[in-house]
Amino acid sequence: MSRLLVTQYQAEVEKIIRYGGSKKETSIRNAFERLLNDYCKPRNYLLVPELDFKTKFNTTVFPDGTIKDAIRLEHGWWESKDEYDKLDLEIEKKFEKGYPDENILFEDSQNAVLIQNSREVGRVAMRDADALDRLLNIFVDYERPEVRDFRAAITKFKEDIPSILEKLRETIQAAEKENQQFRDRRNAFLEVCRQSINPEIEIFDVHEMLIQHILTEDIFTNIFHESQFHRENNIARELSAMIDTFFTGTTRRNTLKSIEYYYAVIRRSSENIANHHEKQKFLKALYENFYKAYNPKAADRLGIVYTPNEIVRFMIESADYLVHKHFGKLLSDEGVEILDPCTGTGTYVTELIEYLPAHKLEHKYKHEIHCNEMAILPYYIANLNIEFTYAQKMNKYEEFKNICLVDTLDHCGFEGKQFDLFAMSVQNTARIQNQNDRKISVIIGNPPYNAWQENFNQNNANRVYGQIDKQIKATYIKQGTAQNQIAVYDMYTRFYRWASDRLGKNGLVAFITNRSFIDSQTFDGLRRCLADEFDYIYIVDTQSDVRSNPKISGTKNNVFGIQTGVAIMFLVKVAKE
């Protein structure tokens, strides 16, 4: 099969030269890029063009292509040259500039040269299909030591994490019994969490937040070297103060020494990442792997798989178009307030920062972009990603004060909801109060949903939300005709109910969710209510439900790599004159 790909490439190059009359690199390199991607696909790799690479000279170069995997690790590089260039001389020049020499392929449409570990391991004429096929397979199959170490570290981390968690929990329990200073700080923080995140939080949940903070601090420090986040962020600061009462010196070293290899591998893997977008994606991939090892059941329940940036950008651009179409405004206009109620690692907000024009961004960033996250670990990551994206674009650091550690569905009273503030909680609860007082125009995001569960009745269901569930019963359930409507209490339908109530008289909701609401009889009540409550509804069905579409199978046809179908819905509410 791969040899056929080579012959198709050769025919395409001949056609380009025949039609265009040019053998220049810029004319024909796209054909080779497509060929390389075809070799990458069966291995679940992707060839990313013109990606930054930080050299050993601390400079940045841009190879024509970088082979990446889903964890954002680099497997090889490709550099295309003109037929008219002297290939060996060009190779020498690139290495003088600090180009990687572990696994890099050079070609000039006539010859291909593969360098691995600073040594030439293959040189073939590109007209020889068999030889080129063999060389490309050697190139794409090469596993860099860093990649091998990283995969081994993740596997070992999954094996070691249960014993580490047991040690940490024992250490925290000892502090509960013997350390009054710890108990005082824990009690104050627990009350804050009940007020600002959700009222059902228990001491166990605070302990888990402490554990996540302890286990991830080194990751943040090494990926975002400049960050003082764990010392400056209001929630992180309080957790650190708690940790400092019991987890120091010998106790810390002895507890964490068995997973130092994990942090060491992350340090090595991240040190060549120059591009802040890649840092964000690497951190997201780390988070998904970490959380699935740390708490696989919660990862399933909360839908710990984050939205591809391409989907996010499509939703932002579509929202901007619809806001302009129906209201004559743009997302960048003053007065258009935007909220991501379940921000995860901050992908929607970071993409929004990239999308908005720089001259409008400062006001939006300070006053009109809001987001919430209920889990401590993605909250940290979102905060870092948002602040770094803004700093990269605006060339100055500005704290992002509109992110709240809060369970959005527990705070649906909106205007005037007051909190009994402890001194240490002022920042987070004040942020929540400020958000609740704002008139939100656009709600956008990816609500959690039970992506791997065929129905809501499975064992890993989510908890009750009194006020939202009461609203669902009075609307979606009341209007429904199905005998069993328990699935209507899925997390994503709760977010639709919340967003419908939260929006002002004019506004837009844009969510990507499970697609079951489109044609399932169970959701006929939801469809009736949405049609009644909104003036315009736009749906993009990705046709990716494996169980209902016999033409597809597995997970490769779904942008999230899951079997459940997904859809994007835009809901527009226009005030009557």
* Burial class of residue 149 in the structure, from the number of CB atoms within 10 Å of its CB (0-12 exposed, 13-18 middle, 19+ buried): middle
> Does any domain span residue 266?
yes
Q: Who has greater pLDDT, 561 or 250?
A: 250
Instruction: Give the per-residue pLDDT at 252.
Output: 86
> Does any domain span residue 282?
yes
Clarify whether residues 197 and 84 are in a common domain.
no
Among 118, 143, 168, which residue terminates a domain?
A: 143
Range of the structural domain that residue 254 is part of: 147-296
Clarify whether residues 121 and 173 are in a common domain.
no
* E strand intervals along 200-286: none
> Does any domain span residue 478?
yes
Clarify whether residues 484 and 558 are in a common domain.
yes
Clarify whether residues 453 and 574 are in a common domain.
yes
- Decide: pTM greater than 0.75: no
pLDDT at 180 over 90: yes
- Directed axis angle between helix 524-533 and helix 491-502, to 10°? 20
Clarify whether residues 99 and 166 are in a common domain.
no
Long-range contacts of the stretch 322-327 (C-beta < 8 A, 24+): 322/508, 322/536, 322/538, 322/570, 322/572, 323/441, 323/442, 323/508, 326/508, 326/536, 326/572, 326/574, 327/506, 327/574
Clarify whether residues 96 and 39 are in a common domain.
yes
* Residue closest to 272 by CA, chosen among 70, 54, 66: 54
> What's the Cα-to-Cα distance from 499 to each of 10, 202, 517, rounded to whole Å?
54, 27, 16
> Does any domain span residue 318?
no
Q: What are the residues facing 79 on neighbouring strands?
A: 106
Residue with tokens 């079997």: 563
pLDDT tens, position by position, 375-386: 877 887 788 788
Clarify whether residues 171 and 34 are in a common domain.
no
CA 577 to chain centre: 40
Clarify whether residues 159 and 128 are in a common domain.
no
pLDDT tens, position by position, 181-208: 999 999 988 887 777 666 778 898 889 8
Instruction: Give the per-residue pLDDT at 128.
Output: 94
* Residue closest to 129 by CA, chosen among 7, 309, 288: 7
pLDDT at 210 over 60: yes
Clarify whether residues 135 and 155 are in a common domain.
no
- Directed axis angle between helix 2-20 and helix 25-40, to 10°? 160
Clarify whether residues 245 and 159 are in a common domain.
yes
Among 143, 168, 194, which residue terminates a domain?
A: 143
pLDDT tens, position by position, 407-442: 898 875 544 343 333 333 467 778 888 888 899 999
CATH number at residue 102: 3.90.1570
For residue 335, what are the contacts with CB-CB under 8 A and spacing of at least 6?
A: 329, 368, 441
Please, what is the average pLDDT of the chain?
Answer: 82
Classify 557 in phi/psi space as left (phi over 0), alpha (psi -120 to 50) or beta: alpha
In this prediction, residue 348 has a pLDDT band, given cuts at 50, 70 and 90, of: very high
> Does any domain span residue 403?
no
Mean pLDDT for 66-71 is 84
| CA 510 – CA 315 distance, rounded (Å) | 7
> Does any domain span residue 24?
yes
Q: How many domains does the chain contain in total?
A: 3
Q: What are the residues facing 348 on neighbouring strands?
A: none
Instruction: Give the per-residue pLDDT at 149.
Output: 80
Residue with tokens 């090469």: 142
User: What is the helix (H) or strand (E) element at residue 481, kind and residue range?
Assistant: none
At 508, which amino acid appears? L
In this prediction, residue 503 has a pLDDT band, given cuts at 50, 70 and 90, of: very high
> Does any domain span residue 102?
yes
pLDDT tens, position by position, 522-559: 899 999 999 999 999 999 998 765 566 656 454 454 45
In contact, 36 and 65? CB cutoff 8 Å = yes
% of the chain beyond a pLDDT of 70: 80
Residue with tokens 């190879």: 63
Mean pLDDT for 311-335 is 96
Clarify whether residues 506 and 537 are in a common domain.
yes
Among 273, 296, 319, which residue terminates a domain?
A: 296
> Does any domain span residue 347?
no
Clarify whether residues 6 and 128 are in a common domain.
yes
pLDDT at 254 over 60: yes
